[in-house]
Structure 1
Amino acid sequence: MLNESSPSDVSVTPIPQLREAWQRLRENEPGLRARDLAERLGVSEGELVASHCGEGVTLLQGPWPELIRALPALGKVVVLTRNDSCVHEKNGTFANIEIGGTMGVVLDEAIDLRLFLTHWKHGFAVVDESRGRSLRSLQFFDGDGRAVHKIYRTEESDQAAWSALVSLYRAAVQSPLLELRTVANPLPQLLWDDAVEIDTLRAGWRALRDPHDFFALLKKLRVTRTQALRLVGSEFARKVGNNAIRIVLESAAASGLPIMVFVGSPGVVQIHTGPVHNIKAMGPWLNVLDNDFNLHLREDHIVESWVVQKPTPEGPVTSLELYDAHGTQIVQLFGKRKPGIPELEAWRALAVGLPDVEATHA
Structure 2
Amino acid sequence: MTTDTISLKNRWAAFRQQNPKARIRDAANQLGVSEAELLVTGVGETVVRLSGDFRELLKQVTSLGYVMALTRNDALVHERKGVYEKVSFTNHVGLVLGPDIDLRLFMQSWRWGFAVNENERRSLQFFNAQGGAIHKIYLTEQSNLDAYETLVAAFRTDDQSDSLLVEAPLEKPVDQADDDIDVAGFQASWLAMQDTHEFFGLLRQYGVGRQQGLRLAPEGHAQLLSMELLKQVFATAAERTVPIMVFVSNPGCIQIHTGPVNKLVQMGPWYNVLDPTFNLHLNETLVDQVWLTKKPTADGIVTALELFDKDGQNLALVFGERKPGKPELESWRAVVNDTLAQPA
Residues 188 and 223 in structure 1, CA contact (< 8 A), matched pair in contact too: no
Partner of 1:296: 281
Q: Is 1:143 equivalent to 2:129 in the alignment?
A: yes
Work out the CA distance in 2 between the residues paired with 1:217 and 1:351. 25
Residues 28 and 35 in structure 2, CA contact (< 8 A), matched pair in contact too: yes
SS state of the match for residue 313, structure 1?
coil
**1:145-294 matched pairs, under 5 angstroms:** 145-182=131-168, 184=170, 188-294=173-279
Partner of 2:295: 310
Partner of 2:108: 118
SS state of the match for residue 163, structure 2?
coil
SS state of the match for residue 76, structure 1?
strand
Work out the CA distance in 2 between the residues paired with 1:317 and 1:351. 12
Residue 206 of structure 1, CA deviation: 1.8
SS state of the match for residue 37, structure 2?
helix
Which residue identity lines up with residue 161 of structure 1 in the other structure?
Answer: A
SS state of the match for residue 62, structure 1?
coil
Work out the CA distance in 1 between the residues paired with 2:256 and 2:132. 20
Residue 234 of structure 1, CA deviation: 2.7
Work out the CA distance in 2 between the residues paired with 1:308 and 1:352. 12
Specify whether residues 56 and 87 from structure 1 end up closer, same or farther in structure 2 by C-alpha distance, changes over 3 A only. Answer: same
Work out the CA distance in 2 between the residues paired with 1:247 and 1:233. 26
Residues 36 and 127 in structure 2, CA contact (< 8 A), matched pair in contact too: yes
Residues 4 and 163 in structure 2, CA contact (< 8 A), matched pair in contact too: no
Partner of 2:18: 28
SS state of the match for residue 234, structure 1?
coil
Partner of 1:6: none
Q: Deviations over 1:191-234 (max 9, x none)?
A: 11221110121122122222122112112222211111011133
Partner of 1:7: none
What TM-score comes out, normalization by structure 1 length? 0.91
Work out the CA distance in 2 between the residues paired with 1:95 and 1:330. 25
CA RMSD of aligned residues (A): 1.7
Residue 50 of structure 1, CA deviation: 1.6
Specify whether residues 344 and 277 from structure 1 end up closer, same or farther in structure 2 by C-alpha distance, changes over 3 A only. Answer: same
Work out the CA distance in 2 between the residues paired with 1:73 and 1:112. 17
Residue 330 of structure 1, CA deviation: 2.3
**1:25-174 matched pairs, under 5 angstroms:** 25-129=15-119, 134-174=120-160
Deviates more, 1:200-209 or 1:80-89: 200-209
Residue 354 of structure 1, CA deviation: 4.1
Q: Deviations over 1:316-359 (max 9, x none)?
A: 11101111211122221000010000010111122244439xx8
Residues 240 and 355 in structure 1, CA contact (< 8 A), matched pair in contact too: no
Residues 115 and 152 in structure 2, CA contact (< 8 A), matched pair in contact too: yes
Q: Deviations over 1:110-136 (max 9, x none)?
A: 10001111111110001112xxxx211
What TM-score comes out, normalization by structure 2 length? 0.96
Q: Deviations over 1:175-205 (max 9, x none)?
A: 22222224646x8334112211101211221
Residue 41 of structure 1, CA deviation: 1.1
**1:316-331 matched pairs, under 5 angstroms:** 316-331=301-316
Work out the CA distance in 2 between the residues paired with 1:115 and 1:142. 13
Identity across the alignment (%): 43
Work out the CA distance in 1 between the residues paired with 2:79 and 2:45. 26
Work out the CA distance in 2 between the residues paired with 1:260 and 1:70. 26
Specify whether residues 183 and 70 from structure 1 end up closer, same or farther in structure 2 by C-alpha distance, changes over 3 A only. Answer: farther
Work out the CA distance in 1 between the residues paired with 2:169 and 2:61. 27
Specify whether residues 87 and 267 from structure 1 end up closer, same or farther in structure 2 by C-alpha distance, changes over 3 A only. Answer: same
Residues 115 and 269 in structure 1, CA contact (< 8 A), matched pair in contact too: yes
Which residue identity lines up with residue 136 of structure 1 in the other structure?
Answer: R
Gaps of 5+ in 2: none
